[in-house]
Chain A
Amino acid sequence: MSTMLPVVNRQPELVGQLLHEQQQLSAVEQFSDWHTDHESSGTTTAPAQEKYYRSLLPATAPGPNEQFAFEVDLNACSGCKACVVACHTLNGLEEDESWRRVGTLLIGDPDYADAAAIQHVTTACHHCEDPGCLNGCPVKAYDKDPVTGIVRHLDDQCIGCKYCTMMCPYEVPQYSDRLGIVRKCDMCHQRLSVGEAPACVQSCPNEAIRITVVPTGDVEVAGQDTLVPSSPSSVITRPTTRYVAETSLDPALTRPQDENVDEVAESHWPLAVMLVATQIAVGILIAESLATLVLTAVGISVPDAVPIAAALSAFAIGNMGLGIAPLHLGQPLRMWRVFLGLKTSWLSREAVVLGKFMGLLAGAIALLLLPVVWDWIPTSIQQWIPTEWIPAWAGRALLVASIPVGLAGLYCSAMIYIATKRRPWRSGRTLPRFFGTSLTCGPIVAAVVFALTGFGVTAALLCLAGAVAGWWKWTRERRLYRAPDGSEDPYDRRSRRLVHQHLGETLRMRNFSAVVATLLAGLAFMLCPFLPLVGAGCAALSAAVWIAGENLERLLYFQSVVYDRMPGTL
């Protein structure tokens, strides 16, 4: 064994040569040449892959009352998920984007007497007969192809409102932060247009996915019909995909691999703020009008300052909400087309009706303020204002007229979510929340106005009304988040589990704010008749805490939504 120092035969120039060689790509030239020659010897121009997928495509385009549909052979699908990656690659999608997903169903009878089973389910857009995405889209960024029935998304039309991601029961449209729009499967329409198979069809090693022609319109869909066990009811959108298997899957024995695993949903915070703000705006106007009506009925005259202050606060709050809402959009500059979807989209309707509401409110404010600001208006302008045509009650009339329009707008807001058919957003849960916000915060903000103008008792009663409404609303909400009573809705149970696992902090803050705001409203109730200014301050504080609490409530509403979905994986 040698004891000499190790000998190192240093050769930096060799290293340089190796690094240089590493960067040479001559091998490609050497071999790809041959491939090019090899190809040019062939005479066919059809894609090489065609021999594998030819039998997986229909011979012609669909005829009348027919459309294309995916057909999945569940027995052939072995769960390799090549379709997912091929969709990603062959469509040139973003790094983590694919229009196909594969979930897993686990099948076993309760006493495990029979052999258990595992079934992978590949899913993409179902090119529904009655597409939720298309119906919900406020700007007609979806198009159902009249020949093929393919539901295509118009990327340059999309405003990125994500409403389609709520309206599609199958979570098909996916939002891209980079583009500010959603994108989705178009059944490789461009490939079909030249007779080629969609990416998923041509990449499945087991030929489990094919395109078929299906009849449209004449098939009855029942409420319990689903594409596969645990997936959303087919009644909602009439999906066209056919899942075929030798023996059908028994829903009673089948569970998705991601059962019981719900993710926190998107908060949609600009929407939460907008909803609460517009609801409060309408609430203020209702409270002020009713209070004024009662006061007038008992012979107490209410100065113009009251409706003006109420209208201005409603306008300020509502406008703030509607100003924040576009932050929710990926492409706000395309928003002007929002009226296009009026025929089918509650979002279009909400935008248009609430716009009208704000217009009426602005008009009412202008008319109410006209006598107040008259002296400041330059005479050159004054002469253009037809005062003789404007009766004294016009401002009040417009203000009252804005209320039903506002209520209609709030109804549209609620319908946006109710229309998704997500159980936690059902009307019984949504309408009380949305209108409850009006009934809670409206009176308390109005109370501030009345207190400041010296109507201490009215303010106190408004505080009381707001507090009662708020307390009622909060108790209703809490029922959802408390311990199960065993007989309740499974979606509520999942929703509650989600809240307690991941949203506990928000829930605690919500509860805390409700208690504090109610106490403050109670204090204001007691103070207003005697110390109207202190009472007003107290009511203002209560209103601020209520508003914050309502926003938290709305975040919970969005984030804790659970719904049926296509089978997923852990």
Chain B
Amino acid sequence: MSIGTPKSLTQLSEERRPKSFELPQLLQARTGKMTRELLLNPGDHGLGMTPESLRAETTTVAACGYCATGCGLRLHVRDGQAVGLTPETDYPVNLGMACPKGWEALEVLDADDRATHPLLRDSHGELKRVDWDTALTTFTERFKAIQSEHGNDSVAFLSTGQIPCEEMAFLGALAKFGMGMLHGDGNTRQCMATAVTAYKESFGFDAPPYTYDDFQQSDCLVFVGANPCIGHPIMWERVLRNPNSPEIIVLDPRRTETAMAATQHLQLRPKNDLAILYAITQHLIASDLIDHEFIAAHTTGYDDLAAHVAAFTPDAVGPAAGISADEIRRAAESIGQAKAASLWWTMGVNQSYEGTRTAQAMINIALITGNIGRPGTGANSITGQCNAMGSRLWSSTTNLFGHHKFESAEDRQRVADILGIDVDKIPTETGWSYDRIVEGIRNDEIKGLWVIATNPAHSWIDRGDFKELLDKLDFLVVQDMYASTATAQHADLVLPAAGWGEKEGTFINSERRYGLLKKVRKAPGEALADFQIFRAIAAYWGVEAMFADWTHPEAVFEKMQAASEGRPCDISGIKGYRQLDQCGGIQWPWSREDAAAHATPPQERRLFADGSFCHPDAKARLIVDNITPMPEPPDQDYPTLLMSGRGTVSQWHTQTRTSKSKVLRKLYPERPYVEIHPTDASLIGVHNGDMVSVRSRRGEVFVTAMVTPTVQQNQAFIPMHYDIINELTLRHFDPHSRQPSFKDCAVAIGKASSASTH
């Protein structure tokens, strides 16, 4: 620290420095052991002043493993291991920032409930440590025995959006082509299935068209069922960097942080979003704020659309939806008059019984106003999990490896050729969706289940019922980082998995960017990367020949590249992991032709600039449907509509990871709570902080009341991170995407007697 250098902000030049008297060190200890504990040192590698705990010999960047924003985290490496991290300054996604989860990404690897050894349930019903050989032998024997007794399709898997593409690819290929399973689905069904279905039907391919730069370039951003301030704070960072003072329109039943920042908040009654979007469409058409040329050249179905929405006038829709017709008209005009309007949605749309049509209503608006393929435009699904996008392409669940179709002989042959396997090994039909697999357990069609990196005993809708189903299984395998998850408690066999930071691979973020994971930590005990577990299972199952060259993640990445070639998701031009690392990730598509034309991939690219979509006629479909009534509207006995969603930035999913960081735990309420309106609270004599009972037709829970005017009367909100929420939820689904509709069920809320709260 040089005194009086121009850079210093704490020192004045000698003559201007005020006179101050200092006691001697003996009387007033200004330095010493405790002071030195917090000493910062100039950090190398452009890190700035750094505490000893973060001192880096070198740094390397990895994509974050929580949400699909896909931030670049700069790992501080010492003696080969990551000792800490800071957000990477130059990563094109996060521009030097991260949310609390990202900052604490390494901390949760050290939790003492990590699964460190395989655990097998013994004859007394207790999970006991076994070696890998026993675990893998049991896995193989039990699943093969079930298959030989009940058929190959009696064993299924439930996977995740939290593991890298290469592991998803391996799992799908191993389970379906190697082990002969037919049914497998991911927890991505709970978050993104609706967006997938909507895009596939409308664009002909599951293709979120945007890049994050669109947040910065838009003149009018419409957020439907999205609260990026809390759900995706680093995307919100990009919105705040928009220099155009954009119009921000938010459709949300709650006054969320995002709604607060909006220029127009349409605080609708829940599940009126589709009607309002149709009314906006109707008003756009009626006001002729549409792009006739684009519609004619690049879409089909306009006449049906116009006819369908004709009845949805703002005046007809507004009152029932809880907003005024003028608000709808104003929103429509803002969209129609913007030079570049973009529409964004998240779980408020996806987790709905008519979510697919709602997403498509947004896609329709973007299409008829020509807001697609240009900077600042698009109908854009904000993805949830870090690799939900990878799951959509590579998991061989809803699609065959690389967005191929199980039903297409041509596609099966192509995949078989690329993977070097017998085409007969590939199932000829798409397997069951998550909810159908659950029903399969109920109907004794599914007898064995393999759960990888997800926690359905907490997260599945109406979980009270689901936990009983888990115990019905002949054999349940849970493969997870933590042996303590609600689901692992029911397992017959627990396989200990390495986590983020302990393995390699790629994630695809929300804007289609492949980001790289790095292996910077040793996994605890005998935990293995999911990739390695799959290799071992392939060997024990006796199909190692089929996976002989699936030796490391990058080898699988090359197979993915081959499978993508010539398709909208083409990544054949990427020069391996090293180029991904150098470029701060690369968005798909990046074909051989692209690579030949450009030295390096431009960092922000969007789709459909030429108006050419992925249907055979290159035109996008305008899809409309009838409004579906809410299956369990509030009534006299259950007068409150219960919604759910993200609680705070510091909580993730079922909290298996975020609850392991002490500093994150300080950032959210420890106990579950319900947000209720002050008027509703006073009617039942409840004050902020009191215990209340929340009862639905399926269960009753006791939670703390958070009395807040940000929810509307007769509505309530419980965050999804507390497992009690799914004691209440109603099991119902979007018919097109089979995604659960978590955010609408009827409950009754009452003051809890003091006896029931302990």
Contact = CB atoms under 8 A, between A and B. Distances in A.
B669 A21 contact: no
B38 A82 contact: no
B9 A259 contact: no
Interface in A156-203: 156-158, 179, 181, 183, 188-196, 202-203
Given A116-B708, A194-B7, A25 B54 contact: no
Interface string A93-111: 0011110001000111000
A31 B10 CA distance: 38
Given A90-B54, A155-B37, A205-B97, A64 B10 contact: no
A1 B151 contact: yes
B100 A85 contact: yes
B526 interface: yes
B18 to A, nearest CB: 4
Interface string A260-281: 1100000000000000000000
Interface string A31-60: 111111011001010111111100001101
B32 interface: yes
B8 interface: yes
Given A89-B54, A147-B10, A157-B30, A64 B18 contact: yes
Interface of A (DSSP majority class) = loop
A6 B81 contact: no
Contact of A155 (B32, B58, B255): B32
A6 B145 contact: yes
Nearest to B47: A47
A64 B140 CA distance: 77
Q: Which of A38, A107, A570 is the most central at the interface, judged by chain B CB atoms within 10 Å of its CB? A: A570
Q: Which of A33, A86, A158 is the most central at the interface, judged by chain B CB atoms within 10 Å of its CB? A: A86
Given A8-B137, A84-B667, A190-B39, A91 B77 contact: no
A432 B5 CA distance: 57
B238 to A, nearest CB: 9
Interface residues of B, number: 138
Contacts of A188: 49
A78 B227 CA distance: 10
A14 B58 contact: no
Q: Which of A38, A118, A119, A260 is the most central at the interface, judged by chain B CB atoms within 10 Å of its CB? A: A118
Given A25-B80, A32-B58, A194-B7, A9 B46 contact: no
B518 A157 contact: no
Given A10-B137, A92-B52, A196-B48, A106 B59 contact: no
Nearest to B233: A80
Contact of A193 (B9, B12, B100, B648): B9
B414 to A, nearest CB: 29
A47 B48 contact: yes
B649 A79 contact: yes
A55 to B, nearest CB: 13
Interface string A1-40: 1111011111110110011011111111111111110110
B30 A49 contact: no
Given A19-B132, A82-B233, A181-B34, A48 B541 contact: no
A569 interface: yes
Contacts of A259: 688-689
Contact of B519 (A27, A48, A63, A84): A27
A393 interface: no
Contacts of A11: 536, 539-540, 544
A154 interface: yes
B89 interface: yes
Contacts of A117: 255, 260, 710
Contact of A19 (B32, B257, B528): B528
Nearest to A8: B140
Interface in B8-42: 8-12, 16-18, 20, 23, 27-35, 37-40, 42
B29 A154 contact: yes
Given A61-B9, A205-B97, A155 B38 contact: yes
B257 A120 contact: yes
B236 A84 contact: no
B709 A190 contact: no
A9 B42 contact: no
A207 B622 CA distance: 40
Contacts of A475: none
B663 A98 contact: yes
B144 interface: yes
A402 to B, nearest CB: 29
Nearest to B267: A115
A23 B704 CA distance: 45
A22 B28 CA distance: 52
Contacts of A257: 688, 706, 708
Given A11-B539, A32-B58, A154 B667 contact: no
A89 B34 contact: no
B292 interface: no
- Taking residues whose C-beta sits less than 8 angstroms from the other chain, chain A's interface range is 35 or more
A135 to B, nearest CB: 16
Contact of B708 (A50, A75, A106, A191): A106
Contacts of A116: 255, 708-710
A565 interface: no
Given A8-B540, A22-B523, A49 B709 contact: no
Contact of A58 (B9, B42, B51, B688): B9
B12 A61 contact: yes
A159 to B, nearest CB: 11
A48 B90 contact: yes
B562 interface: no
B631 interface: no
B532 interface: yes
Contacts of A52: 89, 95-97
A205 B233 contact: yes
Given A22-B529, A257-B706, A193 B11 contact: yes
Given A15-B133, A116-B708, A27 B520 contact: yes
A231 B579 CA distance: 52
A191 B48 contact: yes
B100 A80 contact: yes
Contacts of B95: 52
A4 B86 CA distance: 56
B256 to A, nearest CB: 7
B432 to A, nearest CB: 20
Given A34-B581, A92-B52, A112-B709, A82 B1 contact: no
B659 interface: no
Interface string B643-674: 00000111000000000001111111101010
B403 interface: no
A107 B678 CA distance: 11
B208 interface: no
Contact of B133 (A12, A108, A140, A193): A12
Contacts of A97: 663
B255 A85 contact: no
A195 B7 contact: yes
Nearest to A106: B708
A81 B649 contact: yes
A15 B536 contact: yes
Contacts of B90: 48
B280 interface: no
Contacts of A22: 498, 502, 522-523, 527-529, 532
B361 interface: no
A116 to B, nearest CB: 3
A312 to B, nearest CB: 36
5 contacts: A19-B132, A52-B89, A78-B229, A193-B1, A204-B97
Interface of B: 1, 5, 7-12, 16-18, 20, 23, 27-35, 37-40, 42-43, 45-54, 58-61, 75, 77, 80-82, 84-87, 89-90, 94-100, 103-104, 132-133, 136-137, 140-141, 144-145, 148, 151, 229-230, 233-234, 236-237, 240, 255-258, 260-261, 265, 267, 498, 502, 504, 516, 518-523, 526-529, 532, 535-536, 539-542, 544, 577-578, 581-582, 648-650, 662-669, 671, 673, 677-679, 687-689, 704, 706, 708-710, 713
